[in-house]
Amino acid sequence: MPALTAACGGRLSAVQWFKSPWQRGGASTGIGTFVDDQGRPASVVVKVPVGFSEYKWTSDLAAAAAGWNVPSPVPRVLAGGLELGGYDLAWMVLEKLGPHLPITSASPADAAAVARAGECASAALRAVATFHLLAERVRPVEGVTEIDHAAWERAVAGSREAVRRGTLPDGPHWATALKAVSRALPNLFARWAVRAGNAWCHGDVHPGNVLLRHGEGTPQCVLIDLALMRPGHWLEDAMYFERVFWGREHCLGNINPLKVLSAMRRELGLPCTGDYGALANVKRVLNAAAAPGLFLREGNPLYLKHALHLIDKLLPSVAH
């Protein structure tokens, strides 16, 4: 791509382009070598095109981390711009990071692997807390993203339809649970709607979007893919991360993401006030009620079993 080479002042090597397994959009991603301002070659990842929001947030957060002298929770940007070859086309040259968060293959019987998973999961949540801190300094949070009532109603209706088809385990139990959730939806929506807007949430915290920065000792994590960033309550990122591992809690080292993230936010001087535990339970019930409708796509019986357990346990306390 001659235009990219020219934009980098000849400091970027030939790029080897590839398509990531988790990549859904039409953007191109490649790897190469970039010569930094000190004349040192560095392995890099090249992304083009990049959405404006992701370009702006990644650049601003990386710059804020350097300014505040804290580990960057996003990849460092070595070069980038909003124009390429005369076109409005955002692009970035980013530091090449290590593997994705290695916590999905821990065996419950392997104590060392579970302990390592907990260490890595905690490092990921530390990156989330730092992300919240810097994002707020870059741009103050105002309000929250409104809940889409119709989307959640469709999700619960889809779950009830999946139960009616008779393809799910514990079908009668699910039918009763989802009927109760349907009746409680107006109250659940009302309780969720009053949450504070106290963070810029990443919105998609899962192992595919968490990378390890090269180095030894305590793992240091970096968040990628900022396309779903939105204003909301800080617990939303913890709830997303937790939900990915329902039924496989050992893959998180059996940590509680909500407790760990709240502790790390406090360490950074960020607020964790209010009854956020009750608010988290509202979100857990909503997420759990959507699980049967996603079963054919996600296909995890342990996930489904855990979701049903959460509705049984939590709905009575959050439905009113």
Whether residue 135 is found in the same domain as residue 88: no
pLDDT band, residue 22 (cuts 50/70/90): low
Whether residue 119 is found in the same domain as residue 53: no
Tell me whether strands 41-48 and 87-95 are parallel, antiparallel or unpaired: antiparallel
Whether residue 62 is found in the same domain as residue 171: no
98-156: per-residue pLDDT in tens?
Answer: 888 877 677 888 899 899 899 999 999 999 999 999 999 999 998 898 899 999 999 99
Residue from 204, 191, 213 nearest 65 by CA: 213
Residue 25: per-residue pLDDT: 58
Whether residue 178 is found in the same domain as residue 68: no
Report the CATH number that the domain containing residue 86 is assigned in CATH. Answer: 3.30.200
Whether residue 34 is found in the same domain as residue 136: no
In this prediction, residues 238-266 reach a mean pLDDT of 95
Tally of residues, the chain = 320
Whether residue 65 is found in the same domain as residue 195: no
31-71: per-residue pLDDT in tens?
Answer: 999 998 889 999 999 999 999 999 999 999 999 999 999 99
CB atoms inside a 10 Å sphere around CB 254? 14
Please give the structure tokens belonging to residue 46: 């090249």
Residue 108: per-residue pLDDT: 87
Whether residue 142 is found in the same domain as residue 216: yes
Number of domains composing the chain: 2
Whether residue 196 is found in the same domain as residue 126: yes
Note down the domain range covering 264.
Answer: 111-318
- The CA distances from residue 279 to 123, 163, 191, 195, 311, in Å, are 24, 27, 7, 8, 14
Residue corresponding to tokens 């692009």? 91
Whether residue 71 is found in the same domain as residue 125: no
Residue corresponding to tokens 């204003």? 231
43: left (phi over 0), alpha (psi -120 to 50) or beta: beta
Give pTM, 2 decimals.
0.92
> In this structure, what are the phi and psi dihedrals at residue 92, rounded to the nearest 5 degrees?
-145, 145
Whether residue 13 is found in the same domain as residue 124: no
